[in-house]
Amino acid sequence: MSKVEFIKSGLIKKLQEHIETSATIYILTSFVMKSGVEFLKEPLKRAADRGADIKICAGDYLYVTQPEALRQLAAIHPNIEVRLWKSDGVSFHPKAYLFEDREEGYFIIGSSNLSRSALTSGIEWNIGMRKCVEENVFADVMNEFLALFYAQQTVQVNEETLKEYEKQYGEYHQRHVNLVRQWAELEEVELMLPVEQTERAEEVEVIHDPSAPYEAIQPRFAQIEALAQLEATYEEGYERAMVVMATGLGKTYLAAFFARHFGKVLFIAHREEILHQAKQSFARVMPGKTFGIYDGKIKEGQADVVFASIFTLSMKKHLQAFAQDEFDLIVVDEFHHAAAKSYERVLDYFKPKFLLGITATPDRNDHKDVYAICDGNVAYRIDFIEAVQRGWLAPFRYYGVYDETDYTKITWRGNRYDEAELLQAQLRVEMAEHILRAWETHKQTKTLVFCSSIQQADFLSNYFNGKNYRTVSLHSKQVQITRAKAIEMLEQGELDAIFTVDLFNEGVDIPAVDTLLFVRPTESLTIFTQQVGRGLRLHDGKDHCVIIDLIGNYRNADVKLQLFDARRGEKKKGKEPTIPTVPDHCFIDLDVRVVNLLEEMRRKRQPRREKLLADYLEVKQQLGRRPTYLELHLHGRSEATEYKSEFKSYVGFLYWAGELSEREERLFLQYEPWLVEVERTTMTKSYKMVVLQAMLNRGPARWHEPITPIEAAPFFHQYFMEKEYRKRIDFSDGETKRLWQYDEQKVAKLIAKMPMTKWSGSSQGIVSFENNAFSLNFRVAPGDEDTLYNWTQQICEYRLHAYFERKGGSVH
């Protein structure tokens, strides 16, 4: 076989040949047609049957991809993962077919989409290249595929996402009858738009005192508290937990200190530069250990501590290079929602003694993916507001400057504003002058400016330079100055400001920065929080950080100020104030027009029930089916307790949302009092739900029959004794501690005295405890057992899980 091939016909034969022999098969294509799927369906099925790692990504650009083609692809085999790129009108033209086995690899990049004509008779040009020609290029291609495959713009193809795509596909084709002509026109229009450029971070420059000896590194500030909570969590028998720690408090160092208790350690992150920075941090804390990078190019998997990219581990070949029990501790750095499935797959494979998730984002809304993989167990939490209050981060002075841009006129593309329309609004001299005046009024000495795009960063930097200020625009396309040099110049006072896009969100420290300027709409609260953290690190000579923020009627403008609220999380009476309460030595100063804008946006905020429904539907799409109560609790943006508060029960919400079948609706109305009772019965201890679980363990046919304390005793005792934290939380006072050794009569007496008698007395007749038997005081009709069993099991599972979630550290 030639090492490089020009393939202008018969591509299908080449694809079938490699599908039959490869262990890794990745396909990236602009569009997919049913005719193309027919050619590859059987070879792909055979490959999946033998365990090949198969991932296929197609685009929805101009709605050429046929919904039925996606459905057929997803139906070939359950182990084939299919995702759809949501282009939101931005052109999407890649065509690549990537293959790899244990030693060899081969990729084809060219013009052929997944259609009959493109694979057989059409005029197509493709280049095929073997891995051995340039292994680093091959590794780059594989990693880039995975980064795109799990990007925020992609969704998993399942019945729920297909329903949405089918609807959009139908509407688009009804509106655009003459598609061929319109496609050509759209391509011409695209030539006149600015080139879309994705910000890429460069290598990380870790700034520290090189004279400090490795052994001098010790926990400090929040790390001391967090480490104590983590160690207690591990000792209590929890197998996974998360730490929420504000940017600047050293969450990577915390992970390194905790890792000293374990043998082999795996650190997983979503960006390679974070891996290299983490490696340096761990090396300073654990000088006697060996450290290795595993990222597709470098494969140092035999070290004591391995730092791996999630995209590399997403490849079955690389994942299975490690034994399932190889690592005692796995540390997961914060990651983005779209890649959640890849993390779940990797973590389902490994069997560590402990899993630690670390994140800097302060809101469940942002870190819900880490929250889910850590079973909701928060070992320690401190956000940047509490850190400021305790003197561990610098105070801030926040100035909200009015931005007159009308963002309602700019198209929203799912997770961002339309780039061309946003640039048209931003690249105006009047806007630049307004930004300059605000900066001159409030600035200190060293400024980071966060922009929406490379074009905006260049435009503003040039404008400021024209006003005799020393600034640079720093981004992935900048070739005149390196990031390290720009940082050095800013620290030395040779620059007034650095204009950037996303380079400084995470992984780079410039403690000397004392001013932050935001000239972009806040599309992500996570990113905004990370960027604010860039200015709050303590530094000699810095009394406080100035934050200058342009606020217009963009999305999240009315909620972003909650991040600065020192009373966040407290129950407040009456209307929430527009200006939050901030810590001592901090203040917020808002333009009067900003206050009026925020109050108007708050009045128009999405009603509560509609928000709960939207958050539920997001989880449903993610899973491809109706989520269980526990899945909604772990994966949803809204707290599960909000559903109970608003609808009395999760099933009550499903009824309101039209998510139940006609038969389920009838059963819900018939058995609603029972479902509400299970949801709302008080639980100072977990005993009630444990007795209910003992009943449920008898199976759908018998779960609702009466149960005696003696019958419940074995399960009741086993449940508490099998996990240290259950035993110590609910079985640790003087009376119950004696029951750590099983005594059937004493356990039965406890069950009779507490959960059975107390539940009977508080349930208003729904359950009773009489003649030494705990009973449901209603009849479950034949045929209803399974459905009512499933609903009851879901509530019981959720309540037990939520009860034992470890809530350590700060209450903020």
**Alpha helices (runs of H) in 362-505, residue ranges in sequence order:** 364-373, 384-389, 419-426, 429-442, 454-466, 483-491
Asked if the structure places residue 202 within a domain, the reply is no
Q: 82: which residues sit within 8 A by CB, 6+ positions away?
A: 55, 56, 57, 58, 70, 73, 74, 156, 157
If one compares 190 and 507, the residue with the highest pLDDT of the two is 507
CA dist 607 and 659 (Å) reads: 19
Asked if the structure places residue 437 within a domain, the reply is yes
Instruction: Return the SS3 of 765.
Output: coil
Question: pLDDT per residue over 390-442, tens digit each?
Answer: 999 999 999 999 999 999 898 877 667 888 889 899 999 999 999 999 999 99
Average pLDDT over residues 735-741: 85
Determine the number of helices (DSSP H) and then strands (DSSP E) in the chain: 33, 24
CA dist 391 and 387 (Å) reads: 6
Q: Residues 345, 237, 308, 84: what is their CA dihedral angle, to the nearest 10 degrees? A: 30
Question: pLDDT per residue over 288-332, tens digit each?
Answer: 899 999 987 777 878 999 999 888 898 888 999 999 999 999 999
Task: Tell me how far CA of residue 82 lies from CA of 58, 70, 344, in angstroms.
Answer: 8, 8, 16
Residue 718 scores a pLDDT above 70 = yes
Tell me, rounded to whole angstroms, the distance of Cα 161 from its chain centroid: 18
Phi-psi region of 63 (alpha: psi -120 to 50; beta: other; left: phi over 0): left
- The reply to whether 327 and 411 lie within a common domain is no
3-state secondary structure string across 291-333 = EEEECCCCECCCCCEEEEEHHHHCCHHHHCCCCCCCCCEEEEE
- Both tokens of 166, joined, read 């089918």
CA dist 658 and 669 (Å) reads: 13
Domain boundary among 583, 603, 623: 603
Question: 663: number of CA atoms within 13 Å, CB side?
Answer: 6
- The reply to whether 164 and 48 lie within a common domain is yes
Question: pLDDT per residue over 12-22, tens digit each?
Answer: 999 999 999 99
- Both tokens of 769, joined, read 């405890």
pLDDT of 71 reads 95
- Both tokens of 715, joined, read 């399960």
Identify the CA nearest to 258 among candidates 379, 347, 428, 368.
379
Asked if the structure places residue 116 within a domain, the reply is yes
Tell me, rounded to whole angstroms, the distance of Cα 469 from its chain centroid: 39
- pLDDT tier at 777 (50, 70, 90 boundaries)? very high
Q: Which range, 142-146, 202-206, 380-384, 789-793, is most confident?
A: 789-793
- The reply to whether 450 and 370 lie within a common domain is no
Q: Which range, 412-416, 741-745, 785-789, is most confident?
A: 785-789
- Both tokens of 244, joined, read 């929420």
The tokens 């027919």 sit on which residue? 38
- The reply to whether 143 and 180 lie within a common domain is yes
Asked if the structure places residue 247 within a domain, the reply is yes
Strands (E), 714-808: 767-770, 773-776
pTM recorded for the entire structure: 0.80
Handedness of CA 275, 276, 277, 278 (dihedral sign): positive
Residue 555 scores a pLDDT above 60 = yes
Residues present in the chain in total:
812
DSSP conformational letter for 735:
H
- The reply to whether 570 and 698 lie within a common domain is no
Residues forming a β-bridge with 357: 242, 332
Question: pLDDT per residue over 205-246, tens digit each?
Answer: 333 333 333 445 788 889 999 999 999 999 999 999 999 888
CA dist 682 and 664 (Å) reads: 27
CA dist 420 and 193 (Å) reads: 6
pLDDT of 203 reads 31
Question: pLDDT per residue over 129-171, tens digit each?
Answer: 999 888 889 988 998 999 899 887 899 999 999 999 999 888 8
Residue 693 scores a pLDDT above 90 = yes
Residues forming a β-bridge with 242: 357, 378
Tell me, rounded to whole angstroms, the distance of Cα 33 from its chain centroid: 31
- The reply to whether 178 and 50 lie within a common domain is yes
The tokens 């001159």 sit on which residue? 440
Question: 701: number of CA atoms within 13 Å, CB side?
Answer: 0
CA dist 313 and 305 (Å) reads: 15
Domains: count for the chain: 4
- The reply to whether 319 and 419 lie within a common domain is no
| Amino acid letter, residue 619 | V
Task: Please check whether residue 647 is in contact with residue 656, taking contact to mean a CB–CB distance below 8 angstroms.
Answer: yes
Residue 199 scores a pLDDT above 50 = no
Asked if the structure places residue 703 within a domain, the reply is yes
β-pairing, 154-156 vs 80-85, is: antiparallel
Asked if the structure places residue 203 within a domain, the reply is no
As a whole-number percent, the residues of the chain with pLDDT over 90 amount to 61
Identify the CA nearest to 81 among candidates 156, 147, 145.
156
Residue 30 scores a pLDDT above 80 = yes
Average pLDDT, the chain: 87
- The reply to whether 286 and 325 lie within a common domain is yes
- pLDDT tier at 633 (50, 70, 90 boundaries)? very high
Tell me, rounded to whole angstroms, the distance of Cα 1 from its chain centroid: 43
Q: Residues 114, 117, 119, 123: what is their CA dihedral angle, to the nearest 10 degrees? A: -120
pLDDT of 484 reads 84
Residues forming a β-bridge with 97: 27, 108
Asked if the structure places residue 611 within a domain, the reply is no
- Provide the residue range defining the domain that includes 266: 214-382
The tokens 């490089």 sit on which residue? 4
Identify the CA nearest to 212 among candidates 121, 138, 116, 280.
280
Question: pLDDT per residue over 516-542, tens digit each?
Answer: 999 999 877 778 888 898 899 999 989
3-state secondary structure string across 249-297 = CCHHHHHHHHHCCCCCEEEEECCHHHHHHHHHHHHHHCCCCCEEEECCC
Task: Tell me how far CA of residue 210 lies from CA of 206, 529, 778, in angstroms.
Answer: 10, 29, 73
Average pLDDT over residues 647-671: 97
CA dist 169 and 186 (Å) reads: 17
Residue 606 scores a pLDDT above 80 = no
- The reply to whether 342 and 231 lie within a common domain is yes
Task: Please check whether residue 241 is in contact with residue 377, taking contact to mean a CB–CB distance below 8 angstroms.
Answer: yes
Domain boundary among 319, 347, 382: 382
Average pLDDT over residues 633-645: 91
| Amino acid letter, residue 539 | H
Question: pLDDT per residue over 259-268, tens digit each?
Answer: 999 999 999 9
CA dist 49 and 41 (Å) reads: 12
Average pLDDT over residues 631-647: 92
> The CATH number of the domain where 466 resides is what?
3.40.50.300
CA dist 126 and 7 (Å) reads: 5
- pLDDT tier at 189 (50, 70, 90 boundaries)? very low
Identify the CA nearest to 147 among candidates 22, 324, 306, 312.
312
- The reply to whether 412 and 508 lie within a common domain is yes
Q: 289: which residues sit within 8 A by CB, 6+ positions away?
A: 282, 283, 303, 304, 305
Longest dimension (CA), the chain: 90
3-state secondary structure string across 11-44 = HHHHHHHHHHHCCEEEEEECCECHHHHHHHHHHH
Domain boundary among 143, 160, 191: 191
Handedness of CA 63, 68, 74, 77 (dihedral sign): negative
- pLDDT tier at 719 (50, 70, 90 boundaries)? very high
CA dist 117 and 526 (Å) reads: 44
- The reply to whether 187 and 221 lie within a common domain is no
As a whole-number percent, the residues of the chain with pLDDT over 70 amount to 90
CA dist 196 and 417 (Å) reads: 13
CA dist 410 and 346 (Å) reads: 39
Task: Please check whether residue 304 is in contact with residue 249, taking contact to mean a CB–CB distance below 8 angstroms.
Answer: no
CA angle 501, 504, 509 (to 5 degrees): 160
Asked if the structure places residue 102 within a domain, the reply is yes
- The reply to whether 696 and 571 lie within a common domain is no
Instruction: Return the SS3 of 322.
Output: coil
pLDDT of 652 reads 97
- Both tokens of 698, joined, read 């008898």
Q: 391: which residues sit within 8 A by CB, 6+ positions away?
A: none
